[in-house]
Amino acid sequence: MPDTILVANAGSSSIKFQVFDIVGETSGLDLNLKGQVEGIGTRPRLIARDAEGGRIADETFSVGDLPDARAALGQLGHWLRARLEGGFPAAVGHRVVHGGPAYDTHVAVDDDVLTKLEALVPLAPLHQPNNLLPIRAIRAMQPEVLQVACFDTAFHRGHPEVADRYAIPERLYRDGIRRYGFHGLSYEYITRTLATLAPEIADDRIVVAHLGSGASMCAIRGGRSIDSTMGFTALDGLPMGTRPGQLDAGVILHLLTNNGMTADAVQHMLYHDCGLKGLSGISNDVRDLLASEDPRAKLALDYFVYRAGLALGSLAASLEGLDVVVFTAGIGENSSAIRAAICRRARWLGIDLDEVANAKGARLISAGTSRVRVMVIPTDEERMIAHHTLEILKRRRRH
């Protein structure tokens, strides 16, 4: 059996995973299997498929069996060991949302790295604790196995200083309060994919819209991130499923001083009760809102599209022009209605949508008359993590 790389993308209610075989003299990566444990704490279910998409597992569990992410990790580990015939991966790559000021590239995890990443939990309370949970579990069980932390922030660390700064005292910037940007693994994957699919435009002025439950947009030129809608935390920028996006800091001060809310209560509200869920009062899922006739659902979607249109114009300004727009992630890849609405708001930028191609979910959805090319490209953060993990594994083996 070839050496494998396991990729873990752990959240609060789901754990996505992929296993890649390391093959060939050039150490390529072939997908072996992929899946997720979803509905953790509510309706737990393990689903897995092989490389051809065939279902190889579909198991449901009681909430008592899998009440939390820790229990789900244990069950997933048991299933993977059986599937891999008792073998353990040569390396494990993890999505870690926040790398802070210390990490501008992906790194092998040791005690010092883990301590620094734990210190960043307050900056990503919805993601970072769950990202670190499987790292700790594997270190306790198989401490000799190489584990690699791959950061959503790393792709953005080359921003111009003016894009990273807030207008706050210098000492706070030195303390790490700056605009980091997130979803970097997705943006890096799209950038590399464009270089293969359409090398003639890969160095153009590109805005990628990563639209999912978590949503952001990124300006890219020459394969590098120039600016992003997200900032110090993953609360900033576009409205999301349950997060508000851009918000006047005075609102937070008002809630703390005038409404009597505690910091913990404000944090919970911002991460769990805002965004599409807060505006609609119905759901954080775009599919539910599109199917609803409630005017609050329409308001939430209109707001999402409006803010995306503003962000697209702003990022085009950071690039001093716009040549390509790419939609990706759950909403970006699957909702033709949201793509169409955003493109209609961006006609002034030279976007002319091909409505038929968009409805079909084609890769190219702009009309022949469009000055800006508009594309739909599925993202694959897990493959990007596997790639970086393999590079670090190869360096280790050379030395």
Using CB atoms within 10 A of its CB, is residue 126 exposed (0-12), middle (13-18) or buried (19+)?
Answer: buried
Rounded Cα distance between 147 and 189, Å, is: 21
Q: Residue 78: what residue type?
A: H
What's the rounded Cα separation, in Å, for the pair 325 and 343? 9
The reported pLDDT for the residue numbered 127 is 87
**89 vs 111: CA distance, rounded Å:** 20
Mean pLDDT over 307-334 rounds to 97
Residues 55 and 144 in one domain: yes
pTM recorded for the entire structure = 0.92
pLDDT of residue 27: 66
**Same domain membership, residue 239 and residue 134:** no
- 1 falls in which pLDDT band (50, 70, 90)? low
Residues 207 and 354 in one domain: yes
Does 334 map to a domain?
yes
Q: Tokens 């979910």 map to which residue? A: 361
Average pLDDT over residues 56-68: 88
Indicate the number of domains in the chain: 2
The pLDDT assigned to 20 comes to 94
pLDDT band at 199 (very low <50, low <70, confident <90, very high): very high
Question: What's the CATH number where 204 sits?
Answer: 3.30.420.40
Q: How confident is the model at residue 64 (pLDDT cuts 50, 70, 90)?
A: confident
pLDDT of residue 240: 95
Average pLDDT of 22-49? 85
SS3 state at 308: helix
Task: Quote the pLDDT of residue 128.
Answer: 92
Per-residue model confidence as pLDDT tens digits over 348-386:
999 999 999 999 999 999 999 999 999 999 999 999 999
Q: Is residue 184 part of a domain?
A: no
Position 41 scores a pLDDT of 78
Q: Give mean pLDDT, residues 131-145.
A: 90
Q: What is the pLDDT of residue 140?
A: 87
- Do residues 139 and 213 both lie within one domain? no
**Residues 96 and 26 placed together within one structural domain of the fold:** yes
Query: End-to-end CA distance of the chain, in Å?
Result: 24
CA–CA separation, 200 and 205 (whole Å): 12
Query: 60-64, 208-212, 240-244: lowest mean pLDDT where?
Result: 60-64
145 and 245 both lie in a single domain: no
pLDDT the model gives residue 352: 97
Instruction: Report how far residue 175's alpha carbon sits from residue 19's, in angstroms, rounded to the nearest whole number.
Output: 38
**395 assigned to some structural domain:** no
The DSSP line for 52-99 is: TS-EEEEEE--TTTS-SHHHHHHHHHHHHHHHTTT---SEEEEEES--
Task: Tokens 């150490």: give the residue.
Answer: 27
Overall average pLDDT of the 243-250 stretch: 96
Residue 346 domain flag: yes
Domain containing 364 equals: 199-376
Same domain? For 231 and 315 the reply is yes
Residues carrying an active site annotation: 152
Residue 209 has pLDDT above 60, yes or no: yes
Report yes or no on 190 lying in a domain: no
Q: Name the average pLDDT for the chain.
A: 92
- Whether 89 and 220 share a structural domain: no
Do 219 and 83 fall within a single domain?
A: no
Token pair in block for residue 399: 């030395």
- pLDDT for 7 beyond 80: yes
Answer yes or no: is 156 within a domain: no
Q: Which runs of E-coded beta strand occur in the chain?
A: 4-10, 15-23, 28-38, 45-50, 55-60, 91-96, 107-108, 146-151, 206-211, 215-221, 224-228, 324-328, 373-376
- Do 93 and 238 belong to one domain? no
142 and 203 part of one domain: no
Of 274 and 102, which is predicted with more confidence?
274
Q: What average pLDDT does this structure show over 265-281? A: 95
Residues 337 and 215 reside in one and the same domain: yes
Of 275 and 75, the one with more pLDDT: 275
Rounded to whole angstroms, the Cα distance separating 365 from 352 reads: 9
